[in-house]
Structure 1
Amino acid sequence: MSRLAAGLWVQAYLMRLQIETVPAYVLAHGDDTAGAVLIKLNPLDGTARLFQRIMAMDGSRPWDILSEGPEGEIDALIERQRKYDPDIWVIEVESRAGRHMLDEPGLE
């Protein structure tokens, strides 16, 4: 099964969040075709969670928490990741309720 280009996935994800009135921003524009995507969930309380896609044993690609903690530490981790992989996308989702919609059908 072929994967959706990263740029198209990001556009669809941002549109889905917009429909649900969940603010989200592109912090780093990665490679449109094959860039990896990181999602920073910011509950606006000084903390953050960083999600990445993983390859599961059954071949699926669920989202998993890469790290969570003080927002400054998450931002530093993102910067390290971007130095290692400049093609990576970073999307920040701001939700006091912790809504990120990564577990919604159609976003897998």
Structure 2
Amino acid sequence: MRLTSEIWVSAYIRRCQAAFVQAVVVRRGDAAAGAIFISIDLLDGNVCLYGPAPTGITGSDTDRRWVRCLEGSAVASEEARVFLARQLNFDSDLWILEVEDSAGRHFLDDALVET
């Protein structure tokens, strides 16, 4: 059984706080099954954006898997905002988390799928 989005987000925020990294919910989505996007603000005007891995490449029905949403290691903050705005037009139930970390740590560990 997969954790609800709300529980997963709460645990992720605590994981960031345990590493003394600021993480906030910018947009709250559907508590049960809203898609989650994580924006890592590098504090230099650039961000790394992560979102749910497409169905079929995850290899698991119970664990959340993640992919980098935009090409390259980091993109301008405005490019990430445009991407997220398009996603919101498609799915109004999504969550947006913002993490501020100049080191670019995403805390997704083995759940990150390299495509």
Change in CA separation of 1:84 and 1:21 when aligned onto 2, cut-off 3 Å:
same
The alignment yields a C-alpha RMSD, in angstroms, of: 1.9
1:1-108 maps to which residues of 2 (within 5 A)? 2-54=1-53, 55=55, 56=57, 58-59=59-60, 61-67=64-70, 68-103=74-109
TM-fit CA distance, 1:63: 1.4
84-93 or 67-76: bigger deviation: 67-76
Aligned residue for 2:37, secondary structure, equals strand
TM-fit CA distance, 1:58: 2.8
What letter matches 2:10 in structure 1? Answer: Q
In structure 2, C-alpha distance between the alignment counterparts of 1:78 and 1:7, rounded to whole Å: 19
User: Are the equivalent residues in 2 in contact too, given 1:22–1:99 (CA < 8 A)?
Assistant: no
How many aligned residue pairs are there? 105
Gapped runs of 5+ residues in structure 1?
none
The TM-score normalised by the length of structure 1 is 0.88
In structure 1, C-alpha distance between the alignment counterparts of 2:58 and 2:27, rounded to whole Å: 29
What letter matches 1:77 in structure 2? Answer: F
What letter matches 2:59 in structure 1? Answer: D
Change in CA separation of 1:57 and 1:78 when aligned onto 2, cut-off 3 Å:
closer
TM-fit CA distance, 1:69: 1.2
In structure 1, C-alpha distance between the alignment counterparts of 2:97 and 2:58, rounded to whole Å: 26
In structure 2, C-alpha distance between the alignment counterparts of 1:92 and 1:58, rounded to whole Å: 27
Q: Where do 4+ consecutive residues of structure 1 move more than 4 Å?
A: none
In structure 2, C-alpha distance between the alignment counterparts of 1:63 and 1:57, rounded to whole Å: 8
The TM-score normalised by the length of structure 2 is 0.83
In structure 1, C-alpha distance between the alignment counterparts of 2:10 and 2:98, rounded to whole Å: 13
What letter matches 1:58 in structure 2? Answer: G
